[in-house]
Amino acid sequence: MLKIPPVTQSKLTKLGIHTPFDLVLHLPLRYEDETSITRVDDLVTGETSQVEGEIIHSEVMYRPRRSLICQLQDESGILFLRYLNFYPSQQKQLAVGKKIRALGEAREGYFGMEMVHPKCHAGGENKALKQALTPIYPTTAGLPQPTLRKYILAALNSEQLSDTLPASLLKKLKLRAFDESVKLLHNPPPQIDEAELLERAHPAWRRIKFDELLAQQLSMRIHYQKRHERISPQLLPRETLTPRLLQALPFALTRAQQKVLQEIKLDLSRPHPMQRLLQGDVGSGKTVVAALAALQAIENGYQVAFMAPTEILAEQHYLKLLDWLTPLGITPVWLSGSLKKKEKTAAAEKIAQGETQIAVGTHALFQNSVEFQNLGLVIVDEQQKFGVQQRLALRNKGVFDVGRASARHVGLKPDLQKNEPHQLMMSATPIPRTLAMSYYADLDVSVIDELPPGRTPIVTKLINDNRREEVFERVRAACLQQRQAYWVCPLIEESDLMEVELQNAIETHQQLSEAFPDLNVGLAHGRLPPTEKAAIMAAFKSGEIHLLVATTVIEVGVDVPNASLMVIEHAERMGLAQLHQLRGRVGRGAAESMCVLLFQTPLSELARARLKIIFENTDGFEIAQHDLQLRGPGELLGARQSGVAMLRFADINEDAKLLEAARTLADELLRDMPDVAQAHLQRWMANKPDFLHA
């Protein structure tokens, strides 16, 4: 049994180390080579080496700044050692006559070859050299490397490192043994390819990464299976309301929309909860699919909750649903945080009494004061912007007895079994395939992979901010042709020094109003009162406002077919997904559309890369794949992270083939070798929360 003092354990806990096996998986960041001695005259500038010799001179100098300068001599020459920060103990260690070993990067100094702040310890001809590379671990204050190494070595010797996977599987997958792999990574032999280690391309790393991916896939697939054991109302397609809406729509569904609608219909008719992610690029028509899914629930006498992260987006959905559903005798209820108390109470009462079949709103829908009578379907738009606990709170509002559902609609006998609502999650930010395989493996995924006919291609232009006058002329020309335009600003007001130079929306609105006295220039931002914001958006939609200056509140949900020009200020400051979403606000009508990305120089490498990608690509999935490569999965997952354990070792871009193999094996193990699956999960997940809570 490994004994660790409480003080040390508290520091280990900061590193996420709770058990001896966590020490085994606390792998090095890099290595130092203390397995050989290099002669002073063989040192190469820029290379890290270890030298051995005697200190022949040691002096504290004060010009140009206080430094400890020492001279180390071996049989081939003299090396200068320089310390800008040092302690009295180091002065003693480096006193004249001391024999030491110094490890550091050699470089040409003023007096000759030198090392700055090398790592030194007592040396001598009789002292044995190390037989393996020295690991350097991630650490925290008060936990030195020698202490970490001591406990990790003890864990490696005391823990059971036998394989969780059978030898036949390892042979088939061409994987090394686990114990051999983990011991090599902690103590690599000196002849190993160090670049392969640091790039995590060595076969030992391949085994660790595969095991981690397999544990993730097993966890997600178990969640998937458990969901199929839970009970939800069977919402059969009764075809009483849905055909009426389809007939009333001024457009026909695309083949892609029809395909995903059939997938959703089938899910809703099953007795276990649907958890389906509906992906579709900007303008692909996700809302009408969601409306048809809602009607299937309403046909069965159940209520629907339709939630969006921002008031503008939620209100856009509400107005669309009001337009589509009112002729069918269904009146949606609107609920948001900005409503007056009396209006909120009235809306909540209609929901609780079952007087409304569909409630549309923001996060206000999952407040404790809101109770649904018989919630059967939850629709969440832009689901990545909600936290796991928020979505869970809304789902829990649907746990009720089937007997409480309206029997006259359902035609079922009362049943006391507990039910939970079906969930349809939507995202206009396409999720790259590897990310979906890795972090959304517990969900069923539908993709609308074509745009409705009539959508015009959007021309994207990159224009330096010093050519603003040209952009003004483009705006004037568009508006004179009876078209409308957006001018998007990233900020409402100056908030800190870094952002002082940015044009804010209010100043830009004043500037453009002066530049275009013959145009009606509107202003929309997040701090406007909701009623004022709604009035401005309505005026823009009706054509009363020619040019709308706005912050990124218009990123999603705004649909004005007559708007054909989008100008995005300080595009270099925005992310790829946001730029793509904003660009998608135009190109919704028959007129040729353009998106102008105004940028300021100098550009960082990241900003330059983002602008190049958005300029060259219009496909959301292609852009999302590039975004994943630029930022990694952590940022792309958004609030979903609050319920998902991130990968520590594997990279879902570089290790896509390993991910494919882990996904296939996870299904095989759960089906044919459940004991093996359990043992593997126990090793990797014993002291961690599940990958998902919702």
Q: Give me the residue label for tokens 């804010």.
A: 504
Q: How far apart are the first and last CA of the chain?
A: 37
Distance from C-alpha of 315 to C-alpha of 557, rounded to nearest angstrom = 9
DSSP E strand boundaries for 90-159: 99-108, 113-116, 119-122, 134-136
Q: In this predicted structure, what is the pLDDT of residue 435?
A: 79
pLDDT in tens, 296-341: 999 999 999 999 888 878 888 898 999 999 999 999 999 988 888 8
Q: By mean pLDDT, which of 102-116, 319-333, 386-400, 678-692 is the weakest?
A: 386-400
pLDDT in tens, 553-592: 665 556 788 999 999 999 998 888 889 888 988 888 878 8
- pLDDT value at 414 more than 60: no
Angle at 180 between CA 178 and CA 182, to 5 degrees: 65
Mean pLDDT of 644-669: 88
Q: In this predicted structure, what is the pLDDT of residue 274?
A: 94
Beta-carbon contacts of 239 under 8 Å, excluding residues fewer than 6 positions away, are: 299
- pLDDT value at 388 more than 70: no
The model's pTM: 0.77
pLDDT in tens, 510-557: 999 999 999 999 998 777 777 788 789 889 989 999 999 988 766 555
Distance from C-alpha of 314 to C-alpha of 363, rounded to nearest angstrom = 10
pLDDT in tens, 253-267: 999 999 999 999 999
DSSP E strand boundaries for 358-421: 358-361, 375-380, 400-401, 418-419
Distance from C-alpha of 143 to C-alpha of 520, rounded to nearest angstrom = 64
Beta-carbon contacts of 327 under 8 Å, excluding residues fewer than 6 positions away, are: 248
Q: In this predicted structure, what is the pLDDT of residue 24?
A: 95
Q: Does residue 203 have a cis bond before it (omega within 30 degrees)?
A: no
Beta-strand pair 375-380/303-307:
parallel
pLDDT bracket for residue 180 (50, 70, 90): very high
Beta-carbon contacts of 467 under 8 Å, excluding residues fewer than 6 positions away, are: none
Beta-carbon contacts of 531 under 8 Å, excluding residues fewer than 6 positions away, are: none
Q: In this predicted structure, what is the pLDDT of residue 389?
A: 57
Distance from C-alpha of 662 to C-alpha of 633, rounded to nearest angstrom = 18
Distance from C-alpha of 581 to C-alpha of 571, rounded to nearest angstrom = 13
Q: Give me the residue label for tokens 């593997």.
A: 680
Q: In this predicted structure, what is the pLDDT of residue 638?
A: 53
* Alpha carbon distances (Å) from 46 to 49, 106, 116, 133: 9, 6, 12, 19
Q: Give me the residue label for tokens 């920060």.
A: 85
The percentage of residues in the chain with a pLDDT greater than 90, rounded to a whole number, is: 62
Q: Helix or strand or coil: residue 583? A: helix
Of residues 491 and 377, the one with the higher pLDDT is 377
Q: In this predicted structure, what is the pLDDT of residue 302?
A: 95
Smallest Cα–Cα separation from 489: which of 579, 547, 569, 576? 569
Computed over every residue of the chain, the mean pLDDT equals: 86
Give 595-654 as a DSSP string: EEEEE-SSPPHHHHHHHHHHHH---HHHHHHHHHHHH-HHHHHGGGGGG-PPPSS--TTT
With residues binned 3-state (H G I as helix, E B as strand, rest as coil), the percentages for the chain, rounded to 5, are: 45, 20, 40
pLDDT bracket for residue 431 (50, 70, 90): confident
* Alpha carbon distances (Å) from 606 to 432, 435, 573, 603: 20, 21, 10, 8
Neighbouring C-alpha atoms within 13 Å toward the C-beta of 179: 11
* Dihedral (CA of 476, 479, 483, 486) sign: positive
* Dihedral (CA of 617, 622, 626, 627) sign: positive
pLDDT in tens, 18-38: 999 999 999 999 999 999 999
Mean pLDDT of 337-350: 90
pLDDT in tens, 438-468: 877 778 999 998 877 767 789 999 999 999 9
Helices of type H across 58-144 = 88-93
Domains and CATH numbers, the chain: 6-30+137-199 (no CATH), 36-129 (2.40.50.140), 242-448 (3.40.50.300), 458-617 (3.40.50.300)
Amino acid 470 reads E
The percentage of residues in the chain with a pLDDT greater than 70, rounded to a whole number, is: 88
Q: In this predicted structure, what is the pLDDT of residue 410?
A: 41
Q: In this predicted structure, what is the pLDDT of residue 600?
A: 92
pLDDT in tens, 89-138: 999 999 999 999 999 999 999 889 999 999 999 887 778 999 999 999 99
Length, in residues, of the chain: 694
Beta-carbon contacts of 71 under 8 Å, excluding residues fewer than 6 positions away, are: 55, 56, 57, 58, 78, 79, 80, 81
Q: In this predicted structure, what is the pLDDT of residue 686?
A: 74
Q: Helix or strand or coil: residue 68? A: strand
pLDDT in tens, 213-253: 999 999 988 988 888 888 999 999 999 999 999 999 988 99
pLDDT bracket for residue 424 (50, 70, 90): very high
Smallest Cα–Cα separation from 647: which of 440, 443, 441, 438? 438
